[in-house]
């Protein structure tokens, strides 16, 4: 039997509320789409079942599992495991000594899985990276996820849902002004996911700064103006941020990820490799891990040596 736990939603979003629930003696999350009187129910149905169709086929350790849908509580309700540890920002505030770079590696692995399938997440941010009971990061919220090969469907969806959708403070400049960047629409791409991941990597230092990206900008319009002019968040204060993984090499990776030119941003495989190397240089590992990462570093160095010659 499926029931809600408590009288209030634990999270309120622009398009949905998330409730803590119980299903067959398991803690679950109930994502309930918000419906207003003036809303087009057909459009909401498309949004709801579109997310379900993407999410239900995803199987990866770093992607939040899909449990199912239910109409007894709400006409539009999706069910997933309950993330006891909250999202990545909440988790870092609870456990400031955890391996932050490993959490980013987890999230990057989940994003790599999506990109390999030709799926773009479309709304990557700290709130959509949840920490499971094992302390692993999992990607969540696939309401804006799109299949790259189905351009016509994506364009049609964008035109029927009021233009740009997503979180502006994590959004790539070419989505804010597609025409200025030479794009025909504001649809998300793998490159825009990488930009959002770069902004999300600031989570490493967020526990010290306690601020959101572009915290000096009061509203979305100010953020858009700043991003389109090439401005980016400042580096968190040292040495505290570096002590928890936000090293110079990670900062350099962040700057590559949020490059104004989408073509200059790294692919997700390069992001994962850079995070692995950074973690090797920052943390202590078991002997087996040391051997594995030593081989990886040797391969990278050999490759660099050959290119130099």
d(CA 83, CA 234): 30
Report H helices in 161-210.
Answer: 173-176, 190-200, 203-209
Handedness of CA 57, 60, 62, 64 (dihedral sign): positive
CB-CB contact of 108 with 141 (8 Å): no
Contact 64, 80 (CB under 8 A): yes
Nearest to 15 by CA among 42, 38, 48: 48
The candidate with the shortest Cα–Cα distance to 269, out of 253, 287, 286, is: 253
Burial class (CB in 10 A: 0-12, 13-18, 19+), 218: exposed
- List the Cα angle 79/47/127 in 5-degree steps: 55
Return the number of other C-beta atoms located less than 10 Å from residue 206's C-beta. Answer: 22
Q: Which residues contact 83 (CB under 8 A, 6 or more apart)?
A: 29, 64, 130, 131, 132, 138, 140
123 annotated active-site: yes
List the catalytic residue out of 106, 123, 193, 259.
Answer: 123
Residues with a known catalytic role: 123
């Amino acid at each position: 039997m499926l029931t809600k736990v408590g009288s209030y939603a634990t999270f309120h979003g622009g398009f949905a509320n998330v409730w803590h629930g119980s299903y067959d003696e398991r803690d679950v999350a109930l994502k309930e789409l918000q419906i207003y009187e003036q809303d087009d129910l057909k459009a909401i149905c498309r949004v709801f079942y579109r997310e379900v169709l993407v999410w239900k086929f995803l199987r990866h350790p770093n992607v939040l599992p899909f449990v199912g849908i239910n109409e007894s509580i709400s006409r539009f309700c999706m069910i997933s495991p309950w993330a006891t540890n909250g999202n990545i920002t909440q988790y870092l505030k609870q456990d400031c000594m955890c391996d932050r770079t490993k959490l980013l590696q987890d999230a990057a692995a989940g994003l790599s899985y999506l990109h390999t399938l030709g799926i773009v997440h479309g709304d990557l941010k700290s709130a959509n990276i949840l920490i499971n009971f094992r302390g692993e990061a999992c990607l969540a919220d696939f309401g804006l996820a799109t299949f790259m090969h189905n351009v016509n469907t994506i364009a049609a969806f964008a035109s029927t849902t009021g233009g740009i959708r997503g979180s502006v403070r994590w959004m790539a400049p070419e989505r804010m002004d597609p025409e200025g960047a030479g794009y025909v629409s504001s649809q998300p791409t793998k490159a825009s996911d990488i930009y959002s991941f770069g902004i999300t990597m600031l989570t490493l230092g967020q526990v010290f700064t306690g601020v959101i990206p572009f915290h000096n900008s009061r509203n979305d319009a100010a953020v858009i103006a700043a991003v389109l002019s090439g401005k980016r968040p400042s580096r968190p204060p040292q040495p505290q941020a570096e002590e928890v993984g936000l090293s110079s090499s990670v900062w350099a990776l962040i700057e590559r990820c949020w490059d104004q030119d989408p073509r200059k941003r790294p692919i997700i495989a390069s992001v994962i490799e850079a995070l692995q190397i950074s973690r090797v240089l920052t943390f202590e590992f078991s002997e087996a891990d040391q051997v594995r990462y030593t081989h990886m570093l040797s391969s990278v160095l050999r490759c660099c040596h050959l290119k130099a010659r």
